């Protein structure tokens, strides 16, 4: 659905007398499949918005190519515009207009006739549960309501792909959950959704596939599960008395599913396994069979933050 090859963009900015060049995006290759929720995860300034703005035809790439829903970004930007929707990070509604006015105008800007534009606006207001406030000025909306209006604006022309730049930033947990549902509904309707986020849990729970971006480059790409498995597998923490530990280590070291075994300082073992869920019963059986007394057992699954840490040497939470 989206394919990019070597997409690049630098900005020149003046700081006092010097001009500095920021390589915001440096060679991004992506493939996004039809009907998936694709997530762009990365810290502030990673280049997520810049990439999105290039794909949405708002800024011209310095280099590279992209095909979006069959239209070439460079040769046919008008074709790209017709096929995509874009919801900017910083909002897109005017304080003094109402949601209905905004929706009708946006539909008409896409070339839709007046009567049809009104029908679509009404339908969108229903779908996003905004009918109640439809004729109130946008400045009176809550953050979550306003964000929903903006997303409705982005899809009023029923695009094949919609780009949502940080759709949940600044929303309270309840509105966020609500927004996730809306995004899943778009996917259920057959739309390809491309979101950016710096929330780990959002990338993990909402996205079918993600690309982790840092300093203008994609450092990892795949499903959240794949990415996590790739880095270290999963870790089973076995709690044992210090006295029982050596014997347990001896027993488990020979097991095929244990890729690596470490002894913890205060007693107990760390077992690196491919899949913790199937390893745990086997560990239990093995130790039980030898009459060893098990204090606790715990499964540690690597998070996307661990993935980010291995790929960049920093934690996403800190950057």
Partner 1 sequence: MKLARDTWLIFQRQIQLLLRNPVWVFVGVFQPVMYLLLFAPLLKPALNAPTQAAAYKIFVPGLLVLLAIFGGLFQGFGLIAELRAGVIERSRVTPVSRLALLLGRSLRDVISLIAQAVIITLLALLFDLRVFIGYLLLAYLMLALIALMTSAVSYGVALKVKSEDALAPLMNTVAQPVLLLSGILLPLTFAPGWLQGVAKWNPFSWAVDGTRALFAGDLSNDRVWQGLSIIAVLAVAGVVWAARQFARSVR
Ligand X SMILES: Nc1ncnc2c1ncn2[C@@H]1O[C@H](COP(=O)(O)OP(=O)(O)OP(=O)(O)O)[C@@H](O)[C@H]1O
Binding site for partner 1 (CB under 8 A): 56-60, 78, 81-82, 84-86, 88, 90-97, 101, 105-106, 108-111, 153, 157
Residue 85 interacting partner from partner 1, Mg ion, ligand X, none (CB closer than 5 to 8 Å by kind): partner 1
Alpha-carbon separation of residue 216 from 3, 41, 135, 285, 318 (angstroms): 17, 12, 41, 48, 18
Instruction: Indicate left, alpha or beta for 164 from its phi (over 0: left) and psi (-120 to 50: alpha).
Output: beta
The answer to whether the CB of 233 falls within 8 A of the CB of 272 is yes
The site map against ligand X for 173-212 (x = CB under 6 A) is: -------------------------x--------------
Which residues fall within 8 angstroms of residue 256, CB to CB, at 6 or more apart? none
Number of shown-chain residues binding ligand X (CB under 6 A): 14
36 by DSSP, 3-state: which? coil
> Nearest distance from residue 234's CB to partner 1, in Å?
42
276 by DSSP, 3-state: which? helix
Hunting for tokens 């017709």 — which residue is that?
82
Q: Which is nearer to partner 1, 156 or 307 (CB)?
A: 156
Hunting for tokens 């790209």 — which residue is that?
80
- Work out whether 49 is an interface residue with Mg ion (CB under 5 A): yes
Q: How far apart are CA 222 and CA 304, in angstroms?
A: 11
The region of 88-96, 128-136, 224-232, 273-281 touching Mg ion under the rule CB under 5 A is 88-96
Residue 307, φ and ψ in degrees, nearest 5: -65, -45
> Nearest distance from residue 22's CB to Mg ion, in Å?
14
The site map against ligand X for 85-124 (x = CB under 6 A) is: ----x-----------------------------------
The region of 45-53, 187-195, 294-302, 303-311 touching ligand X under the rule CB under 6 A is 45-53
Note the residues at the interface with Mg ion (CB under 5 A).
48-49, 89
């Amino acid at each position: 659905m989206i394919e990019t090859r070597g997409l690049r963009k630098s900005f020149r900015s003046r700081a006092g007398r010097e001009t500095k060049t920021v390589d915001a995006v440096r060679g991004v290759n992506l493939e996004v499949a039809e009907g998936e929720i694709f997530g762009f995860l990365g810290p502030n300034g990673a280049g997520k918005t810049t990439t999105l703005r290039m794909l949405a035809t708002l800024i011209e790439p310095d280099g590279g190519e992209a095909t979006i829903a069959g239209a070439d970004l460079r040769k046919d930007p008008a074709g790209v515009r017709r096929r995509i929707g874009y919801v900017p990070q910083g909002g897109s509604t005017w304080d003094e207009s109402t949601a209905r006015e905004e929706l009708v105008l946006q539909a008409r800007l896409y070339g839709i006739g007046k009567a049809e534009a009104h029908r679509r606006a009404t339908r969108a207001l229903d779908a996003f549960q905004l009918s109640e406030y439809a004729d109130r000025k946008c400045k009176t909306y809550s953050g979550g309501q306003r964000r929903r209006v903006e997303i409705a604006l982005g899809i009023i022309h029923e695009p094949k792909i919609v780009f949502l730049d940080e759709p949940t930033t600044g929303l309270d947990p309840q509105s966020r959950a609500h927004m996730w549902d809306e995004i899943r509904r778009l996917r259920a309707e057959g739309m390809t959704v491309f979101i950016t986020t710096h929330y780990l849990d959002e990338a993990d729970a909402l996205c079918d596939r993600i690309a982790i971006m840092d300093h203008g480059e994609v450092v990892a790409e795949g499903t959240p599960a794949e990415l996590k498995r790739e880095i270290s597998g999963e870790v089973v923490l076995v709690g044992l008395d210090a006295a029982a530990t050596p014997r347990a280590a001896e027993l488990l070291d020979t097991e095929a599913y244990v890729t690596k075994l470490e002894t913890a300082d205060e007693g107990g073992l760390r077992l690196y396994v491919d899949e913790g869920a199937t390893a745990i019963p086997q560990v239990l059986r093995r130790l039980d069979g030898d009459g060893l007394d098990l204090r606790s057992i715990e499964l540690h699954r690597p998070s996307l933050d661990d993935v980010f840490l291995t790929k960049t040497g920093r934690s996403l939470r800190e950057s």
